[in-house]
Amino acid sequence: MNAQNRRAIYERLRAALPVPTTELKYRSPFELLVAVILSAQATDKSVNLATATLFAAADTPQAMADLGVTGVKQHIRRIGLFNTKAENIVKTCHLLLKQHGGEVPRERGALEALPGVGRKTANVVLNTAFGEPTIAVDTHIFRVGNRTGLAPGKTVRQVEDRLLKVTPPQFRRDAHHWLILHGRYTCLARRPRCGQCALADLCEWPDRAMAVAMAVRA
């Protein structure tokens, strides 16, 4: 895909949603960090249901540590891998208190040193909580990057590096949110909604024309 079409994609995404953000509900960098840890292999909707009660009971590292693993589990049982996630969250709280004065660090290395925090989670926190121009590649963005031709790659890291390279600077801060929402609601895995896609004429997916024709017949 050439630079002109890439720019056009971002311009259209920005026109449709000028101020994008995460669908996770949070009120502080700490709450965002916990929500993103919980979101691994879980939907944002299920995470929001769990954190509604969890954050009411504990919304700081100290309060969460005091709640303990058993207490955290009581609020997140509806989420997959809740046992491991509860343990990681409480361990993370102890490290935040011991090493960072109870604050969420805004350095990648410090974030990735926290239990349950990998590169994707760190990217989300850096971008959403601190406004850094990072791009967290999940399954939706991986699919969109490859399917459209925007940033093809065989691995998540390759797609991330490609997106950072080809995304114009003025779009980098919001690119993560635009692309994940596009993958979540339009460029679906099994039945992409090509007939409703504002990017259809810019997309390089070989099966796009067939998908559009099937949508019209339906």
Residues with catalytic function: 120, 138
What span, in angstroms and rounded, lies between the C-alpha atoms of 142 and 207? 17
Tokens for 115? 């239990």
Q: Sign of dihedral through CA atoms 85, 102, 131, 19? A: positive
- Matching residue, tokens 């990057």: 145
Q: Shortest CA distance to 90 belongs to which of 37, 164, 161, 163? A: 37
d(CA 67, CA 71) in angstroms, rounded, equals 5
At 95, give phi and psi (nearest 5°): -70, -40
CA distance 186 to 108: 31
